[in-house]
Structure 1
Amino acid sequence: MNSRIRVRLMIVVLIGLAKSVEGSQHNETKSSTLSDALDKAAALVDKDPSSHDLNLLNSFMTDKRHQLGNGKLQTKTQHTHVDETLEKMQAEIDELKSSLKTVLTMCQNVPQKRSVLAEPQVAFYAQSTHGRINVGEHQTIVFDQVVTNVGNAYNKFSGMFTAPVSGTYAIFWSTFNGHHTHLLSELVHNANVVGLAWSDAYDHDDGEMASNQAVLPMNAGDIAYVRSAPYNPPCVADGRSFTTFSGWLLYLA
């Protein structure tokens, strides 16, 4: 094969190689590679190449092959790094999904708490300020001095507490009697006696105090009150603020 033809063929290969290197390198390196290839091609195309020229061209092609190989290796390394990063990110996403699923499961298993502010507020406390009052059987004891009446469910004129909402209520009452008097009292829920207290100073000269409490499920509109129980001799309610009646809503039904 004619030397000039061989050179021209090598130039074609060289230009193709230079363009391949150009596609795998940074912009600045691309321009330099293509420029070098074209410069060397122009220098050889119009003259018969010497052995030095051929060696130089061969060396140049070998160098560019190495550059191409290094570019492919670098690209492969970059792809490997990207793949590793993506795998790591996917693992983190899977872990977050698992944690979120666990949290959602825990939230579903937690009982829903009612808002305290959304529930009606019910509480009362009243005292009897009267002195000794003879009371007959089943006579309602009126606690006339209201200290607390949140929700206005206690009536100081009738002595009755009316549940404004259905729920469970705590009810407490106390009675006091001076010497030689006594009082057997009953806590009544609607028409049912649900508790007793007996302050008994009937046969001695000092005072006596009694108290009791109850926890009652009550429907809205139910009543609770304290009254005297049947007993002989007649009972006496001794006030002086020792005799009290109170209650509050524990929780809704």
Structure 2
Amino acid sequence: MVFVQFLICLLLCKGLHSMSIHINSNDTVDVVALKQNVESLKNQVHNLSSLIENDINSYKQGVFFFAKLSRLTYLNKNSIVKFNEVVTDSGNNFNHGNGMFVAPVSGYYQFSWTTFTYSDKIVDTELRVDNVIVDAMYAHISASSSVPATKIAICWVNKGDHVWIQTTNSYTENAIHNPNQSNAKSSFLGFLIEEKE
């Protein structure tokens, strides 16, 4: 708030300096012009305050989401993984109905996804940004057990781009396991690292 007050003071001082008035006995003050200048300064201060407030609010809010898959899921080739259990979603940018995140701003993002596979099953997935493959992960276990695999990717995402996890075009039966432990679930998370214009 002190910074905002400083900027307002600086703007007012600049404006008043540029419209200083010299009054002699022969000069008259143009009241209309003075009122217009003061009104212009008020608008500039208001606009500057709004910009600063919006930047502060967007910084405080952040951009991040974390969602889990709550059930055993079998998926065919090229199928979106619909992480249906949203743990947190700042800004409501993740849609658990279709499993997609929509970027509210352009910038560098980090995404990570974990899939459990079990008992000689395969899970072959990829991270897509507006249908472009950014990274992929293959998980397979031959024993009678359940094992998680996790992948992390950092990439550029434009404002409005859709980001999701889907199976590749290699296997027709991708088995994403849901272990008996209540918190051990396949998951998908993402957050904004650096916003860029």
Match of 1:246 in 2: 189
User: Is the 1:174–1:197 contact (alpha carbons within 8 Å) kept by the matching residues of 2?
Assistant: no
d(CA) in 2 for partners of 1:175 and 1:116?
A: 36
How far apart are residue 228 of structure 1 and its match? 0.7
In the alignment, which of 78, 86, 93 is matched to residue 153 of structure 1?
93
Distance in 2 between the 1:128 and 1:207 partners? 15
Structure 1 residue aligned with 2:71: 130
| Structure with more of its chain in strand, by fraction | 2
Structure 1, residues 68-110: CA drift from partner, whole Å, max 9, x if none? xxxxxxxxxxxxxxxxxxxxxxxxxxxxxxxxxxxxxxxxxxx
Identity %: 24
- After superposition, the Cα gap between the structure-2 partners of 1:168 and 1:232, relative to the gap in structure 1 and judged at 3 Å, is closer
Q: CA RMSD in A?
A: 1.7
| Partner of residue 73, structure 1 | none
Provide the C-alpha distance between the structure 2 equivalents of 1:198 and 1:242, rounded to a whole number of angstroms: 17
Q: Which one of 186, 195, 204 corresponds to residue 126 of structure 2?
A: 186
1:224 maps to 163
Superposition TM-score, scaled by structure 2 size: 0.65
State which of 114, 119, 122 in structure 2 corresponds to 1:174. Answer: 114
The 3 A distance-change label for structure 1 pair 197 and 116 is: farther
Whole-angstrom distance in 1 between the partners of 2:171 and 2:64:
35
Larger Rg: 1
Please, which runs of 5 or more residues in structure 1 have no aligned partner? Answer: 1-114
Give the number of equivalent residue pairs: 137
Structure 2 unaligned residues grouped into runs of 5+: 1-54
Distance change in 2, residues 1:234/1:123 (3 Å): same
1:186–1:228 Cα contact (<8 Å) kept = yes
TM superposition outliers: structure 1 runs of 4+ over 3 Å: 115-118
- Using the alignment, how far apart are the partners of 1:247 and 1:227 within structure 2? 15
Measured after TM superposition, the shift of residue 116 of structure 1 is 5.4
**How far is the alpha carbon of 1:236 from its aligned partner?**
1.2
Give me the whole-angstrom Cα distance separating, in 2, the residues matched to 1:233 and 1:146.
27
TM-score by length of 1: 0.51
* 1:141 aligned residue: 81
Greater per-residue helix proportion: 1
TM-superposed deviation, 1:220: 0.8
| Structure with higher RCO (Cα < 8 A, 6+ apart) | 2
